């Protein structure tokens, strides 16, 4: 039982703590009220990252104290590297700018050859809506309709910059398992590669499944393209009968390499703010993102947009990065060789 003389002191302390909490909440709300939050997308309009960001933009503001307006700005180029560089080095560190870009950029300091000016570990990670497994497809005119065909017949695979998703997947399959990909890189984003496939500029693309589903929901179900391989740690039920890349591994070394290369798929389409934004605003953005992913209106909109929701919070992205960057150096060196432009063994 609390002594009667101590009760006023306890009441005073609790009142001060409560006032402090409310003061911080009011501070965040006052900052965001009547302001605009910008989402930078490291891809062009119309693709999977763009559709994902516009879904978030329609709902996120409702859950941020002060309910700011949310807009989307597209910044294609380099498979998202340019957008990540801008977010890290140029954007204001006040909590009014966040960005989303290829999850492969989480490992680009380990594997990539392109110039980068950011450290993935130092971004303020907000969260992700879902996981993002990939899929390799070929055009109907390519003469390659299965994975086994790809081991015998060369096809041109279009990709974005080295170190990004489309490039990493194609190089991994060529160098580790002997896929006869002739890699043509330099497309600004994944949707540009898909457009090149439509125009017969290239014959294959290895892309996130959801991006293909947003751009062309009929392609795989109606076999307008040939699905060759699922790029994840297990088979993709949306691509029935197509083997997963992990089924190709014939040794522990190959399985270790695949796990390291495919680790970013667990981060899905991650959202980040610049480093060192005010902690109260970082917490508000993380909490808002997490609340949004449980909201019925958001979930209904996501289903309408053909976007599957399997959310991660920002702390989980931080944990994933810690795991990736603590991998043994010999494993990193092996994986780096596999996703380079070197010739197939």
- Here the CATH number for the domain that contains residue 219 is 3.40.190.10
Is the per-residue pLDDT at 31 higher than 70?
Answer: yes
Residue 2 in domain? no
Q: Are residues 99 and 150 in the same domain?
A: no
| Domain with 188 in it | 134-264
Give yes or no: residues 311 and 288 share one domain: yes
Residue 110 pLDDT: 85
Radius of gyration (C-alpha) of the chain in whole angstroms: 22
Return d(Cα 63, Cα 292) in angstroms, integer. 7
User: Where does the pLDDT of residue 344 fall: very low under 50, low under 70, confident under 90, or very high at 90 and above?
Assistant: very low
Residue 341 resides in a domain:
no
Whether the predicted pLDDT of 285 surpasses 70: yes
| pLDDT(93) > 80 | yes
**In terms of pLDDT, which residue wins out, 264 or 2?**
264
Q: Are residues 92 and 22 in the same domain?
A: yes
- Give percent above pLDDT 70 in the chain: 90
Percent of the chain's residues with pLDDT above 90:
67
Domain boundary among 264, 289, 305: 264
Rounded CA-CA distance 39/336 in Å is 31
Same domain, 141 and 255: yes
Tell me what the mean pLDDT of segment 301-313 comes to.
92
* Contact status, residue 47 vs residue 211, Cβ threshold 8 Å: yes
Task: State residue 139's pLDDT score.
Answer: 96
Structural domain contains residue 344 = no
Residue 247 has pLDDT above 60, yes or no: yes
Tell whether the model's pLDDT for residue 16 goes beyond 60.
no
- Domain count for the chain: 2
Q: Quick one: 73 and 154 in the same domain?
A: no
End of a domain among 264, 292, 320? 264
CA distance 202 to 215: 17
Asked if pLDDT for residue 8 goes beyond 60, the answer is no
Question: Residue 182 domain-assigned?
Answer: yes
Helix and strand element counts for the chain (H, E):
13, 11
Q: Is residue 178 part of a domain?
A: yes
Within a domain: 20: yes
Query: For residue 26, what pLDDT band results from cuts at 50, 70 and 90?
Result: confident
The stretch 230-237 carries a mean pLDDT of 88
- 155 shares its domain with 62: no
What confidence category does residue 19 fall into, taking pLDDT thresholds of 50, 70 and 90?
very low
Weakest-pLDDT range from 15-29, 136-150, 237-251, 266-280: 15-29
Highest mean pLDDT among 111-125, 157-171, 191-205: 191-205
- Do 278 and 259 sit in the same domain of this protein? no
Distance CA 70, CA 314 (A): 19
Is there a domain that residue 343 lies in? no
Among the candidates 264, 279, 299, a domain finishes at 264
């Amino acid at each position: 039982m609390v002594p009667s003389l101590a009760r006023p002191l306890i009441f005073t302390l609790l009142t001060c703590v409560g006032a402090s909490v409310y003061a911080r909440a009011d501070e965040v709300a006052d900052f965001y009220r009547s302001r605009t939050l910008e989402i930078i997308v490291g891809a062009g309009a119309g693709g999977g990252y763009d559709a994902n960001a516009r879904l978030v933009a329609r709902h996120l503001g409702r859950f941020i104290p002060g309910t700011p307006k949310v807009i989307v700005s597209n910044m294609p180029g380099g498979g998202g590297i340019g957008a990540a560089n801008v977010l890290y080095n140029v954007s204001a560190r006040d909590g009014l700018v966040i960005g989303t870009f290829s999850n492969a950029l989480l490992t680009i300091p380990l594997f990539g050859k392109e110039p980068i000016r950011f450290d993935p570990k130092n971004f303020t990670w907000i969260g992700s809506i879902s996981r993002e497994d990939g899929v390799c497809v070929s055009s109907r005119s390519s003469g390659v309709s299965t994975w086994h065909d790809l081991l015998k017949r060369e096809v041109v695979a279009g990709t974005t910059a080295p170190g990004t998703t489309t490039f990493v997947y194609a190089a991994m399959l060529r160098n580790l398992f002997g896929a006869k990909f002739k890699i043509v890189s330099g497309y600004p984003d994944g949707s540009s590669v898909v457009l090149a496939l439509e125009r017969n500029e290239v014959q294959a693309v290895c892309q996130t499944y959801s991006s293909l589903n947003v751009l062309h929901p009929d392609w795989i179900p109606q076999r307008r393209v040939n699905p060759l391989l699922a790029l994840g740690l297990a088979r993709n039920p949306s691509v029935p009968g197509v083997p997963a890349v992990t089924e190709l591994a014939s040794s522990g070394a190959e399985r270790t390499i695949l796990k390291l290369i495919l680790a970013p798929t667990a981060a899905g389409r991650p959202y980040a703010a610049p480093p060192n934004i005010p902690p109260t605003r970082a917490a508000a953005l993380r909490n808002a993102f997490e609340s949004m992913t449980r909201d019925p209106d958001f979930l209904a909109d996501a289903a309408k947009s053909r976007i599957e929701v399997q959310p991660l919070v920002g702390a989980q992205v931080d944990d994933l990065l810690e795991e990736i960057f603590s991998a043994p150096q010999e494993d990193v060196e092996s994986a780096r060789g596999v996703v380079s432009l070197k010739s197939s063994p």
